[in-house]
Each structure stands twice: as structure tokens, then as C-alpha cells.
């Protein structure tokens, strides 16, 4: 989507005890950049299928490890990361269950996943600051970008862009309850969630933990 969503995802992430971070479908590295601005000591890794997107990410994050790889077959060992992030990507993966299982596999005990999916919104939540999780300036300060944080993984675009050449799985992840049910088989549970809005976009932010 744009830099504002990347900033919101990074702001929503609980970084307590986090050292090693993996961003899945990193695109140009917007989420990693936002995380780096919060904590320069983080060890940042990102994967994407687009070499062109990764080249942009490398220019912005020379200290990060950026790998051209498939989200459903991560090229990392078990228990490798404290935090996995994935912004607006999981509902576009052809095999979302395999991608979710990979999140859990590479997480260390006590690790967490922060993901964002297009979803419904509680009418009482409004303006991009749900549950006090995303400060009103956190998104605005980052400015506007040209594409989704995870656009490079499968060509995800904003409203009006060309649709992906395969069915999306939006309906599976559009509410907290549906997302919780989808990640449970991988041993993940929904610890907390929030709604974030920008224009017509309605985004579910989720903090998942290993059960």
C-alpha cells in the first residue's frame, strides 16, 4: 500500500526481547526500514520473489540480509527469528497455509508474528488509531509511498491496480476470528489485534504468538 501502513505495522510490533527479524514479502523493505527507525540494533532479514524490489531495499538497508525466496519455502533453519512480519501478503499467497506454517517453523519459542490483512472494520474504531496501538503521528510522519510494503512478493497492488493472476484468499483472513482459526493449525494464536484505516482501505493488524 504505502509507507503509512509500513509505519503502522512497525509501530504495532512488540519489540520486547526481539533481536532477529524476518520480513516476508518485504518488497522494497518499507517495513524493515520502519523497524530500523525504532531500533537500530535489530538484525533485519527480508525475503521477496522480486529481485528488482530487493535491489531497492538493499540500497536503503545495506546492513540487512535480503534474499530472493518463496514465502512458502523459507531458506532458513528452525527457530531462527524472534519476530516475523508480513504486511498485506498472506491473503495473496497461492498456498497461505504453507506460508503460515513457515512463519511458525522459523520462530523461536516465545516468538511472534505481526501481519496485516485486508478486512472488515468495527464501526466504533476509526481513523487509524485502534486500541491506542498506532499513534496518530506514527503513520502520517512516514508520508505516502507508491506500493504495498509487500507488493514485490506477488505483485499486490492498491485499489485500481491490475488484479493478481490467481484467486486471493481475502475471505479467510478478514476478521480476527477467521485469522485466528487460519493460523491455529500452525501452532499460532492471536494475542491482540487492532484496526487501521486509510481512505477506503481497512486493515486488520494482528499480533500472533506461538502457542
All three cell numbers of 58: 538493499
Please answer whether residues 208 and 191 qualify as being in contact, where contact means their C-beta atoms are separated by less than 8 angstroms: yes
The CATH number assigned to the domain holding 199 equals 3.40.50.150
pLDDT at 168 (0 to 100): 55
Write phi, then psi, for 59 (nearest 5 degrees).
-65, -35
**Higher pLDDT pick, 202 / 167:** 202
Q: Which of 204, 209, 202 is nearest to 194 (CA)?
A: 204
148-190, pLDDT tens digit by residue? 444 433 333 333 344 444 445 678 899 999 999 999 999 999 9
Among 40-54, 126-140, 163-177, 178-192, where is mean pLDDT lowest?
A: 126-140
Averaged pLDDT of the chain: 82
Strands 20-24 and 81-87: parallel
Give the predicted TM-score (pTM) of the model: 0.79
Whole-angstrom distance, CA of residue 186 vs CA of residue 183: 6
Q: Alpha-carbon Rg of the chain, whole angstroms?
A: 15
67-78, pLDDT tens digit by residue? 999 999 999 999
**Cα dihedral angle (12, 169, 186, 184), rounded to 10 degrees?**
80
Q: What is the CA 171 to chain-centroid distance, rounded?
A: 17
Q: Counting beta carbons within 10 angstroms of the beta carbon of residue 177, is it exposed (0 to 12), middle (13 to 18) or buried (19 or more)?
A: exposed
Please answer whether residues 90 and 156 qualify as being in contact, where contact means their C-beta atoms are separated by less than 8 angstroms: no
Strands of the 20-24 sheet, one edge to the other: 65-68, 43-48, 20-24, 81-87, 107-118, 201-210, 188-198
Question: Any alpha helices (H) in 61-156, and if so which ranges?
Answer: 96-106, 136-140, 151-154
Strands 201-210 and 188-198: antiparallel
Please answer whether residues 88 and 1 qualify as being in contact, where contact means their C-beta atoms are separated by less than 8 angstroms: yes
Whole-angstrom distance, CA of residue 5 vs CA of residue 197: 9
Residue 13's domain comprises 3-210
Whole-angstrom distance, CA of residue 33 vs CA of residue 10: 9
**Coil, strand or helix at 72:** coil
pLDDT at 120 (0 to 100): 65
- The number of domains in the chain is 1
Amino acid at each position: 500500500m504505502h509507507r503509512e501502513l509500513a509505519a503502522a505495522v512497525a509501530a504495532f510490533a512488540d519489540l520486547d526481547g526481539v533481536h532477529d527479524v524476518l520480513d516476508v514479502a518485504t518488497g522494497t523493505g518499507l517495513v524493515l526500514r520502519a523497524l530500523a527507525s525504532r531500533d537500530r540494533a535489530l538484525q533485519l532479514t527480508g525475503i521477496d520473489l522480486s529481485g528488482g524490489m530487493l535491489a531497492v531495499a538493499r540500497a536503503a538497508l545495506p546492513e540487512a540480509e535480503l534474499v530472493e525466496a518463496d514465502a512458502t519455502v523459507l531458506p532458513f533453519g528452525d527457530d531462527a527469528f524472534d519476530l516475523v512480519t508480513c504486511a498485506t501478503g498472506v491473503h495473496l499467497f497461492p498456498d497461505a497455509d504453507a506460508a503460515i506454517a513457515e512463519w511458525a517453523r522459523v520462530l523461536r519459542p516465545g516468538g511472534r508474528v505481526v501481519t496485516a490483512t485486508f478486512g472488515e472494520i468495527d464501526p466504533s474504531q476509526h481513523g487509524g488509531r485502534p486500541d491506542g496501538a498506532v499513534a496518530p503521528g506514527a503513520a502520517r510522519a512516514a508520508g505516502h509511498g507508491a506500493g504495498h510494503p509487500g507488493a514485490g512478493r506477488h505483485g499486490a497492488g492498491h485499489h485500481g491496480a491490475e488484479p493478481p493472476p490467481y484467486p486471493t484468499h481475502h475471505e479467510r483472513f478478514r476478521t480476527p476470528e477467521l485469522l485466528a482459526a487460519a493460523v491455529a493449525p500452525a501452532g499460532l494464536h492471536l494475542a491482540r489485534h487492532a484496526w487501521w484505516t486509510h481512505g477506503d482501505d481497512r486493515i486488520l493488524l494482528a499480533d500472533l504468538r506461538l502457542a
